[in-house]
C-alpha cells in the first residue's frame, strides 16, 4: 500500500484532508502527519512515506526547506506543495527541487484525489520497473557466475584445444587471463553439512554466493583473477599473475577468512596449488590445490594449506587393513565392553595419524568397520530396520565430518549406540526366555521338573538359563520353583479333606520330608501346624 504524509501547521486542514477522502479505497494509507517542517523531516525519515503533501508557510522550518532536506535523503519521495500563496518564486524553487506539483489553496477533494492517485500509479510503475531490473540483474549475475564457472571448469578439464580458444572465451566474458603466470586455490566451508543442514536449497545457494562475492572482492582488491563455483561444494579461486606482480596469496586468504568470520560467521579452509606458466597447466595447479585441501582433516578448522607444505604420501597411499583391530571392535560389541571399545578406536585413529594415508581412505575404512559391525548385529538377531538407527546410512552420515578428531568422536558414538542395541536385545532375549520358562513351570509345577528340564524347553543350556533367570528375577530357579510350589500348597491346605502327603505330591514333591523341610523354610511352620493355624483363624 502507498503511504502519504500530510504536513500543515493548521490542524483543521490536516484533519480535513485526512477525513474528507476515503484513502483506503484507492489503496493509499495515511503514513503520518506533522505541523512543521522539522517534525515532518524526522517522521518522514522514520516512516518513509511514498508521497508528502506539504504546506509552505510553517513555523520552525518551512515547506521548501523541508522538501530540500527530504529530497537529499529520500530522492524518490513524491512531494506536492500545497499553499495559499500564488508566488511564482516559490513555484520556481519548487520545480528546481523536483517537486511534483504546486497546488493553490483551497483545493477541491476531487482535484487532490485525482493528483494523488496519478502519483500513486507512477510510484507503482516505478516499483515494478525497479523490481524487474533487480530480477534481471540477479538473473544476469547468476547466469554470469554459471558461465564463468563453466569456463574455468572447461579449462581445468581440458575442454579447450588451445590457449587462443580460452582467451577468446575469456575476453567475451571480460575476464583477464593474460598471465603470464597463474595460480589456483580452492575454498571450502568448514563443517559445511552442519552449517547448511537446516537450510533450503535456495538458502544454500545464497550462502555460497555471499562467500563468493566477499572472497572475489578481496582478491580483486590486490590481484587480478576471479572466484567461481566448482562442480563440487567448494569454490575455485584463479589468480592471474601479471609481469612483475608480487602477490602474497597466503595473506589474501587470511583476509578472506577474516571477513567471512566477521560478516557471515563462517570458518573456511584453503588449498593452494603451485604457479603455472600456461593456461593449459591450470588443471595441474587445481589438482594440487585439491590435494592440499584434503589435508585440512588433520590440520583442523581454518587451515591454509599450500601443496608444498603437504606430505603428498599422506594424501595418496592406502593403509593395510586393520584386521586385528576389527576383531577387537566386534568382540567389544559382543561383550558390551565400552572402555575397551574406546581404546580400540583410539588405537585405530593413532594408526591413521601416524602412517601415510589420505582422509578419503580413512573414511572408507571407517565405513567398512561400521558395515561389518551392522552385519554382526544382524547375525545376533538385531534388526536395524526396527531400531533407532533404522534410517542410518554411514556413507551419507560420514560426509558431515571434515576433521579427523570429529570423525573419531562420531565413530565412538556410533559404536556406543551399537552396544546399547546389543544390551537391549540381550535384555529382551532374557525376558523372553524367562517369561516362557515361568509360564511353562506354572502349568507343569506338579510334575517332576528341574532346571535342566526347563532349560531344554526354552532351547538354552542349563548354565545359561540359570544365569539369565537369576539376572532377570533376582533369585535362583530352584528358589523360585520351591516358593511357587509352597504357595500352591498353602492354598490346598485350606481343604482339610486332603492329606498333607497328597498335597506334597499335587505340588510336585515326591519326597514328603523334602516338602515339609521347604514348607517350614519359607513359612516358618510345618504343613500340619500351618493347617492348624488356618483352622484357628476361622
Radius of gyration of the chain (CA): 43
- What pLDDT, on a 0 to 100 scale, did the predictor assign at position 186? 95
Going from the N-terminus, what domains does the chain have, and what CATH number goes with each? Answer: 2-107 (3.40.50.2300), 144-310 (3.30.70.270)
Rounded to an integer, the average pLDDT of 272-286 is: 89
- What pLDDT, on a 0 to 100 scale, did the predictor assign at position 459? 82
Q: How far apart are CA 508 and CA 503, in angstroms?
A: 9
- What pLDDT, on a 0 to 100 scale, did the predictor assign at position 166? 79
Q: How far apart are CA 260 and CA 476, in angstroms?
A: 67
Residue given cell 593456461 in the structure block: 279
Tell me the CA end-to-end span of the chain in Å, nearest whole number: 93
Phi, psi of 31 (to 5 degrees): -80, -25
pLDDT exceeds cutoff 80 at 369: yes
pLDDT in tens, 398-445: 988 889 999 999 999 999 988 888 877 776 666 777 888 888 888 888
Confidence of residue 237 (pLDDT cuts 50, 70, 90): very high
Confidence of residue 150 (pLDDT cuts 50, 70, 90): confident
Q: How far apart are CA 86 and CA 102, in angstroms?
A: 10
- What pLDDT, on a 0 to 100 scale, did the predictor assign at position 172? 77
pLDDT exceeds cutoff 60 at 240: yes
Q: Which residues pair with 210 in a beta bridge?
A: none
Over the chain, what is the mean pLDDT? 84
Rounded to an integer, the average pLDDT of 172-200 is: 87
- What pLDDT, on a 0 to 100 scale, did the predictor assign at position 135? 63
Asked whether the bond before 180 is cis by omega within 30 degrees of 0, the reply is yes
Q: Which residue has the higher pLDDT, 427 or 48?
A: 48
Largest alpha-carbon pair distance within the chain? 134
- What pLDDT, on a 0 to 100 scale, did the predictor assign at position 252? 93
Confidence of residue 285 (pLDDT cuts 50, 70, 90): very high
Instruction: Return the SS3 of 75.
Output: coil
- What pLDDT, on a 0 to 100 scale, did the predictor assign at position 3? 93
Q: Whole-model pTM?
A: 0.54
Asked whether the bond before 124 is cis by omega within 30 degrees of 0, the reply is no
Q: Which cell is 73 given?
A: 535523503
pLDDT in tens, 462-491: 888 888 888 777 888 889 888 889 888 888
Instruction: Return the SS3 of 419.
Output: helix
Confidence of residue 36 (pLDDT cuts 50, 70, 90): very high
308: DSSP letter: G
Instruction: Return the SS3 of 316.
Output: coil
- What pLDDT, on a 0 to 100 scale, did the predictor assign at position 187? 94
Confidence of residue 129 (pLDDT cuts 50, 70, 90): confident
312: DSSP letter: G
- What pLDDT, on a 0 to 100 scale, did the predictor assign at position 141? 58
Rounded to an integer, the average pLDDT of 54-69 is: 88
Neighbouring residues of 372: CB distance < 8 A, sequence distance ≥ 6 = 326, 330
Amino acid at each position: 500500500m502507498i503511504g502519504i504524509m500530510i504536513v500543515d501547521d493548521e490542524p483543521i486542514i490536516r484533519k480535513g484532508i485526512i477525513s474528507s477522502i476515503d484513502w483506503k479505497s484507492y489503496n493509499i494509507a495515511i503514513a503520518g502527519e506533522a505541523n512543521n517542517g522539522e517534525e515532518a523531516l524526522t517522521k518522514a525519515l522514520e516512516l518513509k512515506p511514498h508521497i508528502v503533501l506539504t504546506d509552505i508557510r510553517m513555523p520552525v522550518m518551512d515547506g521548501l526547506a523541508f522538501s530540500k532536506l527530504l529530497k537529499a535523503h529520500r530522492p524518490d519521495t513524491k512531494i506536492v506543495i500545497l499553499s495559499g500563496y500564488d508566488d511564482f518564486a516559490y513555484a520556481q524553487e519548487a520545480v528546481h527541487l523536483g517537486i511534483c506539483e504546486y497546488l493553490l489553496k483551497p483545493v477541491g477533494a476531487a482535484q487532490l484525489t485525482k493528483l494523488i492517485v496519478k502519483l500513486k500509479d507512477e510510484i507503482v510503475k516505478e516499483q515494478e520497473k525497479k523490481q524487474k531490473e533487480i530480477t534481471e540483474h540477479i538473473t544476469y549475475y547468476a547466469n554470469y557466475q554459471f558461465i564463468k564457472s563453466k569456463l574455468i571448469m572447461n579449462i581445468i578439464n581440458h575442454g579447450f584445444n588451445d590457449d587462443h580458444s580460452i582467451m577468446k572465451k575469456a575476453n567475451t566474458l571480460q575476464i583477464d587471463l593474460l598471465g603470464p603466470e597463474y595460480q589456483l586455490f580452492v575454498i571450502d566451508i568448514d563443517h559445511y553439512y552442519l552449517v547448511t543442514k537446516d537450510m533450503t536449497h535456495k538458502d544454500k545457494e545464497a550462502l555460497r554466493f555471499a562467500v563468493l562475492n566477499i572472497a572475489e572482492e578481496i582478491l580483486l582488491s590486490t590481484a587480478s583473477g576471479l572466484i567461481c563455483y566448482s562442480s563440487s561444494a567448494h569454490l575455485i579461486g584463479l589468480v592471474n599473475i601479471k609481469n612483475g606482480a608480487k602477490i602474497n596469496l597466503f595473506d589474501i586468504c587470511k583476509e578472506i577468512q577474516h571477513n567471512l568470520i566477521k560478516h557471515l560467521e563462517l570458518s573456511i579452509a584453503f588449498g593452494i596449488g603451485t604457479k603455472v606458466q600456461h593456461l593449459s597447466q591450470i588443471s595441474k595447479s587445481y589438482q594440487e590445490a585439491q590435494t592440499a585441501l584434503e589435508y585440512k582433516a588433520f590440520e583442523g578448522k581454518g587451515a591454509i594449506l599450500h601443496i608444498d607444505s603437504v606430505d603428498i604420501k599422506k594424501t595418496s597411499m592406502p593403509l593395510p587393513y586393520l584386521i586385528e583391530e576389527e576383531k577387537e571392535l566386534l568382540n567389544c560389541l559382543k561383550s558390551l565392553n565400552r572402555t575397551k571399545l574406546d581404546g580400540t578406536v583410539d588405537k585405530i585413529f593413532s594408526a591413521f595419524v601416524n602412517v601415510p594415508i589420505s582422509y578419503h581412505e580413512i573414511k572408507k575404512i571407517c565405513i567398512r568397520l561400521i558395515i561389518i559391525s551392522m552385519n554382526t548385529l544382524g547375525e545376533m538377531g538385531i534388526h536395524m530396520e526396527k531400531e533407532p538407527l533404522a534410517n542410518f546410512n554411514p556413507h551419507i552420515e560420514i560426509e558431515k565430518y571434515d576433521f579427523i578428531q570429529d570423525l573419531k568422536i562420531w565413530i565412538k558414538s556410533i559404536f556406543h549406540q551399537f552396544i546399547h542395541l546389543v544390551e537391549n536385545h540381550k535384555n529382551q532375549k532374557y525376558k523372553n526366555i524367562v517369561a516362557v520358562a515361568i509360564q511353562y513351570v506354572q502349568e507343569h509345577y506338579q510334575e517332576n521338573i528341574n532346571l535342566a528340564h526347563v532349560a531344554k524347553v526354552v532351547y538354552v543350556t542349563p548354565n545359561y538359563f540359570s544365569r539369565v533367570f537369576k539376572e532377570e528375577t533376582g533369585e535362583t530357579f530352584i528358589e523360585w520353583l520351591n516358593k511357587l510350589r509352597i504357595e500352591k500348597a498353602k492354598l490346598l491346605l485350606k481343604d482339610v479333606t486332603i492329606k498333607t502327603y497328597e498335597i506334597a505330591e499335587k505340588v510336585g514333591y515326591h519326597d514328603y520330608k523334602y516338602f515339609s523341610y521347604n514348607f517350614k523354610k519359607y513359612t516358618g511352620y510345618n504343613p500340619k501346624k500351618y493347617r492348624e493355624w488356618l483352622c484357628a483363624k476361622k
